[in-house]
Structure 1
Amino acid sequence: MVDSGTLFQLGSKGIFVALLAFVIVWSSKDPDKYRKLVWVTLFLTFDVIMFGAFTRLTDSGLGCPDWPGCYGHANPLQAMEHIRAAEALMPDGPVTVMKAWVEMIHRYLAMGIGVLIIAIVVISWRFWLQSGRSVHKFSPHFPVALLIFVCIQGAFGAWTVTMKLQPVIVTIHLLLGMTLLGMLAWVGARQKEHPPVAAAAYALRIPALIALILLSFQIALGGWVSTNYAALACSDFPLCHGAVIPQMDFENGFTLWRSLGMTADGEYLPFPALTAIHWTHRVFAFVMAGYIAWVCYKAYKIEGLQTIARGVLAALALQITIGIATVSLKWPLALAVAHNGCAALLVLLLVMLNYKARIPGAAGTNRGPDQLDTRLSAAPNDNA
């Protein structure tokens, strides 16, 4: 049980992280401090996703096996007696001094994001009311949704620890983090006036949304690979165990509600189940990449979407390269973390593509592409 003093110390660390971000915002020369705050929060969220991958891949998720503190304390220094005792029993186990610090730093950074989102909500409401509820970028509805979402994310962070890294909980925790990043990107995109894009972008709205959904599904599969420690289940490429379709156990591999490394019946997870997990992630990557590349090809032909289309294609090519190198080089930590970071970058870029594809729709309510052409023909063209 965590006492009030420990909770106060933990909260103060989250506030300290947020204060560092506030210093960056208020010392910036950008006159729009609210916009700067949103983008600094987004940047910190991206960093936390990367650090979360590092936490997971270094097996530090149970470095402090309770929550929100570490053996009931606010930091590993205060819990050193417990950590040393656990480390003495299992030197290579989940609890070590290094792993405890990795886990707690991840929590401190996550708490900082929570504080920053609370600040975004308060500031957006204040500016929204001061503007007579007329300034679109200060609408508090998205910030409030962010606050609700970050609370849900925090709950799954707690369950990740208390349920001993149950794969489905950890995977949902990853997906929620990526979704929070995407929501922040959408709020960030609302902070400035974007130049109009060609009316043909109206037809790209659904394909761009499908591309984002496919990416989300692929990230879920990647999280399932990572949380089940199935990264090296196929150690060759492009084949898997020298076969196009190796021996696989999909039933046990994709049973969602089960303990880490175990089947639903409590037996050890067979290796063919790990193979099925890895193989599915690898095969679906080609489906996702092909579709996103097609969407980028269509976007590149639309005035105003060329830059974002190039960015998505470049990130996609980098992600595929990192994925292949990660398998070929036997899953080095730096590449594995970079693979996770590049997935987050793809989320950001596809959210921006979706936002830009909806600019004509927002400018011309209830108008089709032909009507939008008339409205936008007088607007200056810009590829930004």
Structure 2
Amino acid sequence: MMRDDTLRRELRPVLWLSLAGAGFCALVVMAGAATRLMDAGLGCPDWPGCYGAPLVPDAEGALAHSPGVPLEATKAWMEMMHRYLAAALIAMALLLMALGRRLRQRWTGYPWRPTLGLLALLMVQGAFGAFTVTFKLWPQVVTLHLLGGLSVMVLFLWLHLRLRRLASGAPAVMRPRRLTLLWQVTLLALVLQLALGGWTSSNYAGIACQGFPTCNGQWAAPMDWGEGFHLTQAVGPNYLHGQLHAEARSAIQVGHRLGAALLLTCLLALAWRHSRDRAMRPWLALAVGSGLAQAALGIANVLLWLPLWLALMHTAGAALLVICLSLAIWHWRWPSMVVAPHVGREEWVHV
């Protein structure tokens, strides 16, 4: 008992820090979405500074640094605030690593590799942040940057769950349950849909199809699938407001809708498959509920012509869906403490 109390006390700072990191990362993702939706992604023409300065300069300083890029102060500050928030996230990961370095020597099973992986992923994510500016909002980089941000959020959450499991006294030797084919397909559908959402956003195809469920009043509207999903677009043009023609953007929008239908089908299939599992029922209900809410937000964005507040809610809905499905996967893979009736004592079993 004394050992368990000591373990919980020593793990408390990293438990709270990892949970705060997951929440803060969701905020950074939202800030990135707001930056893009306000056309502020190129508010600063360079990286990591803004017109060569750590803070947004005045118009005279900006003109001296980049004569061909006039300063728009609001957009520049929006972009720099996003960078400052991302830097704070890296500081949190560094602090987690500093605290974990001592704890891993004291406690068997401390999740040290996920801690290092988190910091490495944040470094990669920072590089993509730089590429977003230097490649002038190239859709491939913008999409990967979004996926990277959500991946960092999941890794913070996963680290927190691993730490909670360690603090609970769970045996370190227990292996997690393997994901079945249906879980794997659902996870793949989620990643695909997130990528389609990023591709839709980075190519400014959010309202390429007016109306729902039809596209521009037609069930079979003209669409250019080859151009819409041409993944080797040239690097060099400024992709602010997009470079694709209308039919290519319509194809992207319809592809995003089809991806949503596939993901919802997978989520409903999972909920039906595990409907008799009382331990999984609430987590899958959260995943299905967040998926349905996200679909409703997507439809509302199309019908209301993508207002800023609603587009931000759609991004928040994507983050919530990722969290809910991650929690469902965690509770499927790892056991919970229950009382084993055949021996009348607590055991770690799969439920």
**Please, what TM-score do these two structures have when normalized by structure 1?**
0.78
1:50-89 Cα shifts (integer Å, max 9, x gaps): 111111111110000100000000111x344255799998
1:232-266 Cα shifts (integer Å, max 9, x gaps): 11011010022222111111111112258979xxx
Question: What one-letter code is carried by the residue in structure 2 that aligns with 1:107?
Answer: R
8 A Cα contact 2:11 2:163, kept in partner: no
Aligned counterpart for 1:182 among listed residues 150, 154, 158 = 154
8 A Cα contact 1:208 1:350, kept in partner: no
Please say if 1:353 is aligned against 2:332.
Answer: no
Change (3 A) 1:130 1:85: same
Residue 342 of structure 1 corresponds to: 317
Please say if 1:67 is aligned against 2:43.
Answer: no
Residue 46 of structure 1 corresponds to: 26
Q: Matches of 1:223 and 1:376 in 2, distance apart?
A: 52
Between Structure 1 and Structure 2, how many residues are aligned? 332
Q: Give runs of aligned pairs for residues 255-294 of structure 1, distance below 5 A.
A: 255-259=230-234, 269-294=244-269
Change (3 A) 1:38 1:277: same
Residue 274 of structure 2 corresponds to: 299
Change (3 A) 1:245 1:322: same
1:144 Cα deviation from its structure 2 partner = 0.3
8 A Cα contact 1:61 1:165, kept in partner: yes
Change (3 A) 1:186 1:268: closer
Change (3 A) 1:286 1:375: farther
Residue 232 of structure 1 corresponds to: 207
1:191 Cα deviation from its structure 2 partner = 2.0
Q: Matches of 2:10 and 2:274 in 1, distance apart?
A: 31
Change (3 A) 1:205 1:268: closer
Aligned counterpart for 1:167 among listed residues 139, 153, 168 = 139
Residue 149 of structure 1 corresponds to: 121
8 A Cα contact 1:71 1:79, kept in partner: no
Percent of paired sites with the same residue: 32
Change (3 A) 1:374 1:205: farther
1:167-224 Cα shifts (integer Å, max 9, x gaps): 101101111111111111111111223799xxxx958644223212211110100111
8 A Cα contact 2:209 2:215, kept in partner: yes
Unaligned runs of 5+ in 2: 1-8, 171-175
Please say if 1:108 is aligned against 2:88.
Answer: no
Question: What one-letter code is carried by the residue in structure 2 that aligns with 1:184?
Answer: F
Question: What one-letter code is carried by the residue in structure 1 that aligns with 2:75?
Answer: K
Q: Matches of 2:65 and 2:321 in 1, distance apart?
A: 39
8 A Cα contact 1:166 1:260, kept in partner: yes
Which shows bigger deviation, 217-226 or 240-249?
240-249
1:283 Cα deviation from its structure 2 partner = 1.6
Secondary structure of the structure 2 residue equivalent to 1:192: helix
Residue 333 of structure 1 corresponds to: 308
Residue 241 of structure 1 corresponds to: 216
Question: What one-letter code is carried by the residue in structure 2 that aligns with 1:152?
Answer: V
1:135-170 Cα shifts (integer Å, max 9, x gaps): x3x221001011111100000100000010001011
Change (3 A) 1:287 1:261: farther
